[in-house]
Amino acid sequence: MTTSEETRARPDHHEIAMEISNEMVRLYKDLFGRGPSRARTYFATPDVVLCSLHDSLVPAERSLADMGEHQRLRETRLFFQHAREADFRKAVERVTGRRVVGFTSGTDTVADVSSEVFYLEPVTLRSVES
């Protein structure tokens, strides 16, 4: 294969990001009963993937937010996200072909935005050249 054929055969960061976004929506649906209305994924660096998810709170969670129970809501959401941490990691590893060495989650319960951040095992020069 020529270099240009190899480049076309490998998905680019944009395609990988779109696939990760789709996986995050699927996981949110499985975990919380509904997915976010918008999901965007970006490579912050070659080894850090940031998923931004908007409008993902379910009605019961919105009620908690309306009652001012933001800390309780954050704790509950974080508990469920980390209970399924292996699923989040596996999805990103499957799409990227790289091992996830770190994972963090966060939710802003006022703005109804969440983030999933994945730290990928750095690519060595040897694996890039192969």
Q: Give the number of domains in the chain.
A: 1
Which pLDDT score, from 0 to 100, does residue 2 have? Answer: 47
The helix-helix angle for 70-83 and 59-66 (nearest 10°) equals: 150
What is the end-to-end Cα distance of the chain in Å, rounded? 12
Summarize pLDDT for 33-83 with one digit per residue, the tens.
Answer: 899 999 999 999 999 999 999 999 999 999 999 999 999 999 998 898 889
> Measuring CA to CA, how many Å separate 130 from each of 7, 19, 27, 98, 120?
13, 24, 33, 15, 19
User: What is this structure's pTM?
Assistant: 0.84
Q: Is the pLDDT of residue 6 over 60?
A: no
CA–CA distance, 108 with 126 (Å, rounded to integer)? 40
Confidence of residue 123 (pLDDT cuts 50, 70, 90): confident
Q: What is the CATH number for 12?
A: 3.30.1380
Domain with 80 in it: 3-129
pLDDT (average), residues 14-41: 95
Lowest mean pLDDT among 2-11, 92-101, 110-119, 120-129: 2-11
Confidence of residue 1 (pLDDT cuts 50, 70, 90): very low
